Chain A
Amino acid sequence: MDKLTKEEVLHVAHLARIKVEDSEIEKYQIELKQLLDDVDQIKDIVVESQELLVTPVEHETILRNDSDTREVEFNMIKKNVPATNGNFVEVPVMVNE
């Protein structure tokens, strides 16, 4: 059966920062390939216009006035982040700077 290489699966897992067990790799080699094939069908669509389609909605974006501002308390955000330290959001050390 047509499938991705082991390296391709591990590369995608790295981009998503997901750990994949050795035993899972083969499953993803097949599933990801199926997914890509499905998405590849888009290529079969005959597009007449060369114009880049950003959105199917045909209105211009509405610009915001620079002076209109709105802020929320960090306390409200705290509920939605894994950990905090003082007024900082705390995460495992980011070595990939």
Chain B
Amino acid sequence: MGEYKTRVGIEVHCELKTNSKMFVDSINNYGGMANVNINEIDFALPGTLPCVNEYGIMLGLKAALALNCTINKKVVFDRKNYFYPDLPKGYQITQARNPIGVNGYVEIEVEGKKKKIGIHDIHIEEDTCKSTHADTKSYLDFNRNGVPLIEIVSEPDMENEKEAMAYLEKLKEILLYTNVSDCKMEEGSMRCDVNVSVSKTETLGTRTETKNIGSISSVGRAILVESNRQIQELEQGNTIQEETRRFDEKQNRTILMRVKETGNDYRYFPEPDIPPYILEDTFIDEVKEKIEVLPDERREIYRQAGIQSINIEKLIANKEISDYLRNFSGNLVIASNLLLGEISAYLNKTGKKIGDTFLSKEKFALLVDKLDRKEINNQIFKEILIELMETDHDINKIVENKKSASFTEEELKVLVARIVSSNPQSVEDYKAGKDRAIKYLMGQIMKETKGSSDPTLVNRLLQEELARK
């Protein structure tokens, strides 16, 4: 008896970051009052026709390129027919036969092992309206109706929940870094349907689809409980039905949903209201040019610069900071430490973005350079931070002013000798091996210098002075 192998394929729906909807010219906006971002086309009133959003096409293309897909240059749409109140036209406009991108991949890394997860296709489509259900009535808000989506369909290449979660994290990163979507799962701008099957052989087992899971960690849990459920069913001699399920977070199990139409029942046919559109090579090249340096490439740059892996991940998780570091030519280790440390703390405290402050990239480069050449130390940097962030004062002048108030090494030596000789008890304690004594002496010196001295230097001078005693 072999072991069961789990296979996972994921369909991800992402809302595109456009100003207006995909085939309707009303505004694409999340939140706010119901049924305000609407017009006649949303409601399919007689005589209305779809009109394709150029920027939506561009974003779909950009995503397909970033996910290494082959591009179908002839953009055509299809109708997916079903009769439901969330869809006044009676069909959803999608790309069933000729998706904009096919045969792509995403590279993931789980426990040090790299693996390519195939992307079967990416297609552009429109969202349906948002429905809220009460006992006997449902309430519809058409603000979401027609919002541009891309659906990214993976191959069933993932073998466990860790790979699935790594795939989703990577996908999210790429879509964020390309500005295709804001990927907020909590607001529904990124939604996941997970296909799970188990089998003891290389042939795929019957799969179930678990819909609309609310977070990446929930996707992991849903895969685990669903594959266990399937194994149990098979072990009890039952068969797995191809069905749609939902994940109940509280009960930590998947629950059967009613079965909707599938396959032929959707009666797909080409959307006759939208003639084909041909993507010119020059346009595809332009979009390729617009793709920013993607996370993995940035990771490599950071790694080669000698940044610790924990800080690399912090930088990648903060696109604003990572973008700020683009084309930075100084010491990246110092730069990333400053940005992730004191500067992030300042930004969090003040609720500002780095672009809102006076810390221009040029000023920042000078600052890092001064620290790198030890013209200033961390202590001084901490003290001038607010002035750097909140004024347009010249950094050289800020530093000069600060330094004139601080001690030279010679002055420090004198000060250290004075403090040591006026604290004989501490010197004895130090000789008796009490660590607290040196800390006390350090504290006295820092107090005298009002914190403007380099603690490493003070520590060295203090050790030297004590050795002489």
Instruction: State yes or no: do A and B come from one complex.
Output: yes
Q: B97 touching A52 by the CB < 8 A rule? A: yes
Q: Which of A71, A86, A92 contacts B138 (CB 8 A)?
A: A92
Q: Is A35 an interface residue (CB 8 A)?
A: no
> Does A26 have its Cβ within 8 Å of any Cβ on chain B?
no
Chain A CB within 8 A of B469 CB: no
Q: Mark B140-156, 1 if CB is under 8 A from A, else 0.
A: 11100000000000000
- Alpha-carbon distance between A86 and B140 when the two chains are bound, in angstroms: 11
Q: When A16-B83, A60-B275, A65-B54 are in contact, do A72 and B40 touch as well, CB less than 8 Å?
A: yes
Q: How far is the CA of A97 from the CA of B40 in the complex (A)?
A: 25
A18 nearest in chain B by CB position: B83
Quick one: given A54-B271, A64-B52, A74-B35, are A17 and B83 in contact (CB under 8 Å)? yes
Judge if B466 is at the interface, Cβ distance under 8 Å. Answer: no
User: Which B-chain residue is minimally distant from A95 (CB atoms)?
Assistant: B258
Contact A93-B52, Cβ < 8 Å, known A60-B277, A71-B26, A77-B38? no
**Is A87 on the interface with B (CB-CB < 8 A)?**
yes
For B75, give the chain A residue with the smallest CB separation: A61
B contacts with A, residue count (CB < 8 A): 56
Q: Which of A70, A91, A93 contacts B25 (CB 8 A)?
A: A70
Residues of A within 8 A of B134 (CB): 93
> Interface on chain B toward A: helix, strand, loop, or mixed SS?
loop
Q: Name the residue of chain A whose CB is nearest to the CB of B271.
A: A54
Are A52 and B98 neighbours in the complex by a CB distance under 8 Å? yes
- Say yes or no: is B318 at the interface (Cβ < 8 Å to chain A): no
Known: A54-B270, A72-B38, A94-B131. A88 touches B260 (CB 8 A): no
CB distance from A91 to the nearest CB of B (A): 4
Complex contact B20–A66 (CB within 8 A): yes
CB of A61 within 8 A of CB of B276, answer: yes
- Per-residue CB contact flags for chain B residues 33-70 toward chain A (1 = under 8 Å, else 0) read 11111111001010000011111110000000000000
> Which of B52, B76, B138 makes the CB contact (< 8 A) with A91?
B138
- Residues 117-142 of chain B: 1 if any A CB is under 8 Å from the residue's CB, otherwise 0? 00000000000000111111111111
On chain B, the residues within 8 Å of A23 by CB distance are none
* B-facing residues in A44-97 (Cβ within 8 Å): 52-55, 57, 59-72, 74, 77, 80-81, 85-97
Contact assessment for A64 and B53 in the assembled complex, using a CB-CB cutoff below 8 Å: yes
B278 at the interface (CB under 8 A from A): yes
Question: A53: shortest Cβ distance to chain B, in Å?
Answer: 7
Determine the distance from Cα of A74 to Cα of B140 in the docked complex, in whole angstroms.
12
Chain A residues with CB under 8 Å of B54's CB are 63-66
Let me know if B51 and A89 touch, CB within 8 A. no
Q: Tell me which residues across on chain B come within 8 A of A36, comparing CB atoms.
A: none
Contact of A15 with B by CB under 8 A? yes
Verify if B274 is at the interface (C-beta below 8 Å from A): yes
> With A and B bound together, what is the CA distance between A94 and B139 in angstroms?
9
Contacts of B25 in A (CB 8 A): 64, 68-70
Residues of chain B within 8 A (CB-CB) of A62 are: 51-52
Q: Are A61 and B135 in contact (CB under 8 A)?
A: no
Give the interface of A toward B (CB within 8 A): 15-17, 52-55, 57, 59-72, 74, 77, 80-81, 85-97
Chain B residues proximal to chain A, CB less than 8 Å: 18-20, 25-27, 33-40, 43, 45, 51-57, 76, 82-86, 97-98, 131-142, 257-258, 260-261, 265, 270-272, 274-278
**Residue contacts A-B, CB under 8 angstroms, 19 given:** A54-B270, A55-B270, A59-B275, A61-B52, A61-B275, A63-B57, A63-B277, A66-B18, A72-B39, A74-B35, A86-B34, A89-B85, A89-B140, A89-B141, A90-B137, A91-B137, A92-B137, A93-B134, A93-B137
